[in-house]
Amino acid sequence: MPKIRSGLRSERRDGRRFLGIAAVAAAGIIGLAACSSGASSGGASSSSGQAIQPAVGKGAITLTEYDYYTSSYEEGAIETAISAFEKKYPNVKIERETAPYPAVTKLVALESAGNTPNIVIADQDYLSQYYAGLVPLTTFFTPSFINEYLPGGTESATLNGQEYGLQVLGGNDTALIYNKTDFAKAGITEPPSTWEQLEADAAKLTDPKENRYGFALSGSQQEGSTWQLEPFVWSDGGTLSNPGGAPWHQAMDLWTQMIQAGSIPKAVTGWEQTDEESHFLTGNVAMQLNGPWEIQQLQQSGIQWGVAPYPTKSAGQTLSVPIGGEAWSVGRSTPEKEAASAAFIQFLTNDTALNEQLTNAMGYLPALKSESASYATKYPAYAVFADEFKNGKARVYGQNYLKVSTDIQVMIGNVLSGSQSVNQALTTLQGQVSAIPG
């Protein structure tokens, strides 16, 4: 039986020739790929550790500014800040660049290409990802200047012992927002201040036939879920490094009991804070955990709303709430531009009247100690948020807060959806957190 090989001999020769060409091409590409990465240095030349005075030089200077503000009031505030600075220093022009929240990918790409924006306004939760293109602020400012800001915000923007950002136009936190009309209908006179009251009130306010639920929180896989759990855990004495401890168990037990009783809609495993707000505005939930940025929407909604601090496990415990918002940083660039960027931060810090006006326009709480003292009395709608903010805590876990937070988010999703028991989920979480260096 003759051996049969398929294909024309010339076809096989073409095939071998093609393989030869492909091999050469592949070798070329591999060489190109190997050469392109690794050798080049990153970023523009940076200033060394020497101090630089914040100052605006003579001559035309163009600074680039980067943020993720897209709502009309936030943009209004930032643009007012920019115009005020440009008015004082007519030779300076600040160009604004935005990207949708959290805008970290684009920022990292810009830094990697050596085009770090001069003024970076970004979520300090992600600082561990974008700090490599920034200049520590101690290069420009004295410790007493930095000390004008509340410690929580400053600590959130500290990495490897270096201070990278200040919450110039304030920051935010969350509190319990409740529907006063629903409370009156259910006969509840005061917002809950302990967990027991929260559970009882939520049950009274729930009416599944009317698709109305007593309490809502954020349970989907994003930072908003972790940062709503943190007040429950921290106020009871828990820490991020010990998820196996009693405070975590008790907090998750509370959430599980409420969701099993039907006071929290099962849909929360897919909700972010915006979903809580939209369902609150339509009357589907009577209590939600949300932040001061919602106040403008609430004021226009026609709902009788009130704000209360997070309930604590037992009466009299100190409430400890995580701080959010944006840190303003200076990107690596020429010394002249870095000095001008620092001058922008200094300008907005020293002009406290403008600072307070813009902080309020943003819907934020002031991070400057001098403003924070009287803010609650001046703006009663923000009083609860401002008081919580004064004692607000930074969310840190070495360089790896985001990793820990992701594991916490998955744990929350597993517990709220019922696919894992609280014990199982927290034991897994403890194992995961122990393996993350902090």
Partner 1 sequence: MMAKNRKIPGALRALITFRTLCLAPAVLYLLLLFGYPTVFNIKLGFEQEDAAQFILHSPTFNGLANYQQLIHDSVFLHALGNTAIFGVVTVSLQFVIGFGIATLLNKTSPFYTVIRSALLVPWLLPLIVTGNVWIWMLDGFYGVLNYVLVNLHVTSHYVAWLSSPHLALGAVIVANTWLGIPFNVMIISAGLRSIPDSLYEAAAIDGAGSFRRMTAITLPLLKDVTGTLVLLGAVYSLKLFDIVWVMTQGGPANATQVLGTLEYQDTFTANEYGYGAAIANVMLVLSCAFAVLYVYLSRRRKVKSQVRRPGNARSWLKEGTEVDAHA
Interaction site with partner 1 (CB under 8 A): 1-10, 14, 17, 25-26, 29-30, 32-34, 36-38, 40-43, 104-105, 108, 111-112, 128-133, 208, 211, 219-221, 265-271, 279, 284, 402-403, 406, 410, 412-414, 416-417, 419
- Alpha helices (H) in 302-351, listed in sequence order: 335-350
Residue for token pair 């349970």: 219
- Tell which residue, 95, 96, 117, has the closest CA to residue 106: 117
Q: Which is nearer to partner 1, 155 or 272 (CB)?
A: 272
CB 170 within 8 A of CB 148: no
Q: Which is nearer to partner 1, 17 or 378 (CB)?
A: 17
Both tokens of 314, joined, read 């037992």
We find the least distance from the C-beta atom of residue 69 to partner 1, in angstroms, to be 21
146 sits in which H/E element? helix 143-146
9 sits in which H/E element? helix 9-36
We find the least distance from the C-beta atom of residue 99 to partner 1, in angstroms, to be 13
Q: Which is nearer to partner 1, 92 or 127 (CB)?
A: 127
We find the least distance from the C-beta atom of residue 248 to partner 1, in angstroms, to be 17
We find the least distance from the C-beta atom of residue 25 to partner 1, in angstroms, to be 6
We find the least distance from the C-beta atom of residue 317 to partner 1, in angstroms, to be 29
CA dist 86 and 105 (Å) reads 29
Q: Which is nearer to partner 1, 132 or 373 (CB)?
A: 132
We find the least distance from the C-beta atom of residue 368 to partner 1, in angstroms, to be 30
Q: Which is nearer to partner 1, 10 or 50 (CB)?
A: 10
We find the least distance from the C-beta atom of residue 132 to partner 1, in angstroms, to be 4
CA dist 166 and 303 (Å) reads 35
Strands 213-216 and 285-290: parallel
CA dist 280 and 219 (Å) reads 16
Q: Which is nearer to partner 1, 2 or 59 (CB)?
A: 2
Helix/strand/coil for 288: strand
Q: Which is nearer to partner 1, 271 or 364 (CB)?
A: 271
- Alpha helices (H) in 215-330, listed in sequence order: 223-235, 246-260, 273-281, 295-301
CA dist 117 and 98 (Å) reads 11
